[in-house]
Structure 1
């Protein structure tokens, strides 16, 4: 056990919890170099690495977690979920889904519903995505991520923008800062000729902290803002 590494890791985790992501990453990097070896600290590091697109480093950290003795079932599940996200980002979506659906058979929780629900959309099977995201909403019909996933399913796969909007509207009421929900609702504003509202939504989305599980990217949003002449 590395006392110094874990002490710095605790500071990193605290900064992470306050959404001070740049500070957290600097501290995690330092802690890792000094031998940080507590699963919860390494997990925090791996999550931030994944969210910032450092997939090879994240995989290295996950392998270090996997080698630790005494991991709980929950820690093992979390490890597999993060590994699956990396696989997807490296172009192995079907394999990632196999891992996630195997875990889902043993553990149905909010995180699993949100991740699998989104990746079902990425797989492109409208029927499967609708069925799964309906199940997620049966599990919790007030979760903004599930509502957004269903909205994206109707918008991207079914082509039913009217129905999609009902889900986006419910999602944004619950989470006004949601990146993807703001992005999609801005497209409706553009169609309606409400440029000012569209720009407002896009700027809100742009101010968020992106992850691989966002459909909208900073580049996509910047392009839309440029098209609208936003300053």
Structure 2
């Protein structure tokens, strides 16, 4: 909503009251026109609500369509366009997402919007195969602004980059910043797993699973930890839970990989029972 919108509304209400004082019919007509104006001027909010409903139902195409309409209706509001770009990215429409974020980066938006756009564009760079450029951009954002989302994104990319000491130090810092965020917990638990500290990884993942995370990587990664601890049946249970959640384009875990892993666990259990 624009900064001067409340002033506009106040002026309109004064005019409506004056119209009622002059003639009741004129007042009703002016009030009706005012309602129509509000609904039209704020239609982007309505589109966002519809997009959210479609997203929760798993209808990503419809969600993208409603957000595209919201962007057209909310020109000058970068937050809506950032959300649209992120959804495009999450659903694998990389070129379209790249275009959205490049338009934002080359436009005259406020600093908060610019940092948000950069943090999302960094993910575009990663998916284009430019992991180090994505990390560099996120580190630039991080030097100016810190929040849970940036801690989560940068922590994940550092793991993918392979410098586990750097990833561990950063993800421990992220955990101190927010010890109840599922993505941060997953990053830290997985880092411990990658460096061979299975006991610490299990401790972190136990806490994470208690939060009922809604992304499959949490359950898959915990399953890998349990498997290494020799708890094959518990590992299978977690892997099956991972199948209950939709894999995102932003995930490094693939459906085929998860299916093969499930078969491996089932085979191990069958061998033990013979």
Q: TM-score, normalised by structure 1?
A: 0.82
Aligned to 1:171: 208
Q: How does 1:187-206 map to 2 (within 5 A)?
A: 187-191=224-228, 192=230, 194-195=232-233, 197-206=234-243
Q: How does 1:24-39 map to 2 (within 5 A)?
A: 24-28=63-67, 31=69, 37=75, 38-39=77-78
- Say if 2:125 and 2:131, in contact at 8 Å, map to a contact too: yes
Aligned to 2:92: 53
- Say if 1:47 and 1:82, in contact at 8 Å, map to a contact too: yes
Cα gap change, 1:19 to 1:68, in 2 (>3 Å): farther
Aligned to 1:106: 144
Q: Alpha-carbon deviation of 1:176?
A: 4.3
Match of 1:223 among 247, 255, 260: 260
What runs of 5+ residues in structure 2 fail to find an aligned partner?
A: 1-39, 268-274
Deviation sequence 1:134-159 (CA, Å, 0-9, x none): 11111122222222111111212x12
What runs of 5+ residues in structure 1 fail to find an aligned partner?
A: none
In structure 2, the residue corresponding to 1:174 is in which secondary structure? coil
Q: Alpha-carbon deviation of 1:52?
A: 1.3
Aligned length: 225
Q: How does 1:9-48 map to 2 (within 5 A)?
A: 9-15=47-53, 18=56, 20-22=58-60, 23-28=62-67, 31=69, 37=75, 38-48=77-87
In structure 2, the residue corresponding to 1:211 is in which secondary structure? coil
